[in-house]
Structure 1
Amino acid sequence: MNDPQRAWAYVAPQPLQTSPTGPLAGLRFSIKDLYGVDGWPLTGSTRAPLPDVAQSVLVSRLLDLGAAAVGKTHLHEVALGITGMNGYGGTTHPTMPERVAGGSSSGAAVSVALGQVGPLQVHFALGTDTGGSIRVPAAWCGVVGYKPTKGHPDWSTQGVLPLSWTCDHTGPLARDVKTVVRVQEALTGQTVTPQVWNGLRVGLWLPDGWTDETVREAVLAFADDLKGRGATVENVPFPEVLDAYSPIVLSEAARVHAEALGLENPEFMPFTLMSLRNGAGLTEAEVQAAFEKRAEYRALLDGIFTAYDLILAPAVPTPPPLIGQEEVEIGEGNIPLRRAVLRITAPFSLLGAPTLAYPTHTPFVGVQLVAPHGQDDWLLGLGLALENFALEQA
């Protein structure tokens, strides 16, 4: 198997298909190795023991709709990270082997970004997103990623190894919005139509100093494109939410992996083990305080959507960093990579708002388009309009 990026955790001898017909017939997909698939291994890209996981409801539905599953993709170990490092060597960028692909859905992004033919050809990939795990690798690999509204009835998390049941989402990555829309329409039975940007009120969330100049210029250029399509764009503030996000995710992740943590040597990578133990050490009062902060942030986000139709934000703070790089240089100086990334993406998984990661004209730099809760089809319609316009101009 030709897999220099180490994107694949398992490739089936034959694609898994339960229906030769249906709205997704002819499409092949990869599955992040957190999803339960009967007869296929599940490692979570870790050497540590994992809880049992049942057959994924979402995978079963996609197969019934005519899609064929090719295999499983690697991820950042148990989805607790944003670079793609794991117990099997880690997944590298699709075109720059010295750089990261982003995580935790690293292999998912690479599997679609490569546009391979033959046995490893896939048209879309299933990922998960707890704090940016679809959107970050989508941005750094130059593809599209969609994180649905939390609890979307057609994007089930049943049969997926959790990281944080409060923040976990399932969702797809693809090379274009059109493919994401085809999957969405098949699952929901509803038609997604291109939407008009003219007259839309867009709140630009681009905190001063949170990105490098390359990303800042790419986001501002994207905002100018939206203005050219008739939207109004105004700066909007929103705070860092990691004081709520981190305690919630780490405490829940520690409960998921409690059995492994009870072993003398559970074989997690050092950072994963430290993070899980930190989560296990949080008090009930600390976690409750985090949920109270989350409620405050949700009220702030709801308030923004009374004044604006949509939020535009960067999806990453810099272009793809080097493998092993632990800090990034951004406007406010050198800060830890994990914090630089998560404070941009975590708000919208913590608060469950539907978000589309969309490429910019700057290679491997993406933006986030964030809509009010439940406005998934409208959001995808906006992305479809952007894509159609770009194709017309090409």
Structure 2
Amino acid sequence: MTLPDFPDSQRAWASRPASPLRGAPGGPLAGLTFSVKDLYGVPGWPLTASTRAPVPDPGESVLVRRLLDLGASALGKTHLHEIALGITGMNGFGGTRHPFDPGRVPGGSSSGAAVSVALGQVDFALGTDTGGSIRVPAAWCGVAGYKPTKDHPAWSLAGVLPLSPTCDHAGPLARDVRTIVRVQEALTGQAVAAQDWEGVRVGVWLPEGWVDASVRDAVRAFAAGLEELGAVLSPADFPEVLDAYTPIVLGEAARVHAEALQHPDPGFLPSTLASLRQGQALTPDELQAAHARRAEYRAFLDDLLTRFDLLLAPAVPTPPPLAGQDEVELLGGPAPLRRAVLRLTAPFSLLGAPTVALPSSTPFVGVQLVGRPGEDDRLLGLASAPESGVRHTS
């Protein structure tokens, strides 16, 4: 196999070796290619986490090795939002651009992963998701993404540079759910059966003040499509969880990068450094309180998922914002971009629930389907049911 020749005006690729890592012949993923987010340790390939600062060596990724053994071939590493601490794709190497509109952001932190898939450069991409880092770039780039249940045995984080061990997940992005299902089946050795939507109880979480009109209308249209297939829809509500999520992630990220933070200017972007210093300054009591709030949100979600089989929610608050934009206009008024995005996606990383991000009928606006922890295959079966009306890109 020779390395495909394609340009990289989007700055999606952190490194592409002269020769790919070839997958084992005859495996269930033979013939598929994938990109690797530059948090995964791959022997012989550099790991920068898209930063100029020094980062710890996580060792070899168990997941990358497993995918190679199953027959998929790795083409190279993709850029991310610096150290995965952000949702736009900015990093120490200039940042990644949207695959189809260079003036807009692709989303992060798995920005290069989403771009490599959206442009058809690979069949699937390995990303990570700590607060939306698979789902946000999937939504803004018009592809699908899957964040498994926390600590899913098929999606190992061993050999992946962490951001927040409490919230980190490994997972794939692809142009359609069928490819994600093929990877899931190969990793687990279990078939994912297509599911019938008839009688499925769907809680629709659509906090209208948190989205713009295009996202509101996209979620409503998606919900109507599910209802036509027999799903039973009812409104659902969920609180904002950033008072727990933010201190947990920043506190843990500061510990991961503690060695670099011993230097007054370790090489991080100013915004990243400020966030890490904020994490350093948190007291044990503040972190304990954040984990206590997380436990309360866990009980809330557990109760919600006894009343519903899954949740439908927006994956992003608006279509992709302009590069450098730090505020968005929502139906409830203007909001900081980070808060606007994370309050929709962070609950399901904080609490470890499996989630699939899917394109909607509105370009570059995605929705989320959230399942019960441990019911990943049922969730994927619903998302990939041929008759489901779920709108995938081709």
**TM-score between the two structures when normalised by the length of structure 1:** 0.97
> In the TM superposition, what is the alpha-carbon distance from 1:24 to its structure 2 partner?
0.3
Query: Is the 1:169–1:349 contact (alpha carbons within 8 Å) kept by the matching residues of 2?
Result: yes
Q: RMSD value over aligned CA atoms?
A: 1.3
The alignment of Structure 1 onto Structure 2 pairs a total of residues equal to 388
Q: Give the equivalent residue in structure 2 for 1:166.
A: 166
AA in 1 matched with 2:114: A
**Structure 1 residue ranges, 4+ long, deviating more than 4 angstroms after superposition:** 386-392
**C-alpha distance in 1 between matches for 2:45 and 2:372:** 37
1:62 equivalent to 2:88? Answer: no
AA in 1 matched with 2:248: I
Deviations along 1:293-338, one digit per CA (max 9) or x if unpaired, are 0000000000011111010000000000000000000011111000
Secondary structure of the equivalent of 2:210?
coil
Q: Give the equivalent residue in structure 1 for 2:137.
A: 137
**CA 100–157 in structure 1, closer or farther in 2 if over 3 Å, else same:** same
Secondary structure of the equivalent of 2:267?
coil
Q: Give the equivalent residue in structure 2 for 1:260.
A: 260
Deviations along 1:82-139, one digit per CA (max 9) or x if unpaired, are 0000000000100000000000000000000001xxxxx3100000000000000000
**C-alpha distance in 2 between matches for 1:75 and 1:321:** 17
**C-alpha distance in 2 between matches for 1:374 and 1:204:** 21
Secondary structure of the equivalent of 2:183?
helix
1:111 equivalent to 2:144? Answer: no
1:83 equivalent to 2:103? Answer: no
**TM-score between the two structures when normalised by the length of structure 2:** 0.97
**CA 96–19 in structure 1, closer or farther in 2 if over 3 Å, else same:** same
Q: Give the equivalent residue in structure 2 for 1:358.
A: 358
Q: Give the equivalent residue in structure 2 for 1:278.
A: 278
**C-alpha distance in 2 between matches for 1:232 and 1:387:** 16
Q: Give the equivalent residue in structure 2 for 1:218.
A: 218
> In the TM superposition, what is the alpha-carbon distance from 1:264 to its structure 2 partner?
2.2
> In the TM superposition, what is the alpha-carbon distance from 1:21 to its structure 2 partner?
1.8
Query: Is the 2:245–2:346 contact (alpha carbons within 8 Å) kept by the matching residues of 1?
Result: yes
> In the TM superposition, what is the alpha-carbon distance from 1:193 to its structure 2 partner?
1.2
> In the TM superposition, what is the alpha-carbon distance from 1:208 to its structure 2 partner?
2.8
Q: Percent identity at matched positions? A: 70
Matches within 5 A, 1:1-394: 2-115=7-120, 121-385=121-385, 389=389
AA in 1 matched with 2:55: L
Query: Is the 1:157–1:170 contact (alpha carbons within 8 Å) kept by the matching residues of 2?
Result: yes
**C-alpha distance in 1 between matches for 2:111 and 2:375:** 27
> In the TM superposition, what is the alpha-carbon distance from 1:391 to its structure 2 partner?
8.1
Query: Is the 2:23–2:74 contact (alpha carbons within 8 Å) kept by the matching residues of 1?
Result: no
Secondary structure of the equivalent of 1:194?
coil
Secondary structure of the equivalent of 1:303?
helix
Query: Is the 1:80–1:163 contact (alpha carbons within 8 Å) kept by the matching residues of 2?
Result: yes
Query: Is the 2:23–2:30 contact (alpha carbons within 8 Å) kept by the matching residues of 1?
Result: no
**C-alpha distance in 2 between matches for 1:276 and 1:391:** 39
Query: Is the 2:127–2:171 contact (alpha carbons within 8 Å) kept by the matching residues of 1?
Result: yes
**C-alpha distance in 1 between matches for 2:389 and 2:197:** 11
Deviations along 1:343-374, one digit per CA (max 9) or x if unpaired, are 00000000000000011010000000000000
> In the TM superposition, what is the alpha-carbon distance from 1:20 to its structure 2 partner?
1.6
**C-alpha distance in 1 between matches for 2:148 and 2:219:** 22
AA in 1 matched with 2:217: E
Secondary structure of the equivalent of 1:15?
coil
Q: Which residues of structure 1 form unaligned runs of 5+?
A: 116-120
**C-alpha distance in 1 between matches for 2:264 and 2:289:** 31
Query: Is the 1:177–1:387 contact (alpha carbons within 8 Å) kept by the matching residues of 2?
Result: no
Moved more, 380-389 or 219-228: 380-389
Secondary structure of the equivalent of 2:208?
coil
Q: Give the equivalent residue in structure 1 for 2:3.
A: none
Q: Give the equivalent residue in structure 2 for 1:118.
A: none
AA in 2 matched with 1:96: D
AA in 2 matched with 1:317: P
Q: Which residues of structure 2 form unaligned runs of 5+?
A: 1-5
AA in 1 matched with 2:259: E
